[in-house]
Amino acid sequence: MPELIVVTREGEERTLSADVGLSVMEVIRDAGIDEMLALCGGCCSCATCHVHVEPGFFEKLPPVTDDESDLLDGSDHRDSQSRLSCQLLMSEALNGMRVTLAKED
């Protein structure tokens, strides 16, 4: 089972066990990290699951879709490592990936 490292907005770092196939958003939400609002439930329509992905893992992720990019464009905190966590499915290749919850817009 891969592990996901999550840094909260307060700087707390938590290591979570993640089932393969779950989205990063689901793993964070299911762990009870309340900062992950995920208002749309993972259907890529709200950007409340915005995270910054550690550079070493960014290249292992699927490309950003046009819909995801449009939603991220609405954030004042978008950077080159920004992704919507609902669009990232956990796999063994992502074991140890570190994400930081983006500041709330």
Average pLDDT over the chain, rounded to an integer: 95
Whole-angstrom Cα distance, residue 31 to residue 56? 24
In this model, does residue 105 exceed pLDDT 90? no
Q: Are 50 and 81 contacting, i.e. CB atoms less than 8 angstroms apart? A: no
CATH (residue range 3-101): 3.10.20.30
* pTM metric for this prediction: 0.94
What are φ and ψ of residue 42, in 5° steps?
A: 105, 15
Q: Which residues are 23's β-sheet partners?
A: 89
The pLDDT tens digits for 23-70 are 999 999 999 999 998 988 899 999 999 999 999 998 899 999 999 999
Q: Which residues are 51's β-sheet partners?
A: 83, 101
∠ at Cα 56 (20, 66), nearest 5°? 70
Could you tell me the residue ranges of all domains in the chain? Answer: 3-101
77: Cβ contacts below 8 Å, ≥ 6 apart: 50, 102, 103, 105
Residue 78 is predicted with a pLDDT of 97
The pLDDT tens digits for 3-17 are 999 999 999 999 999
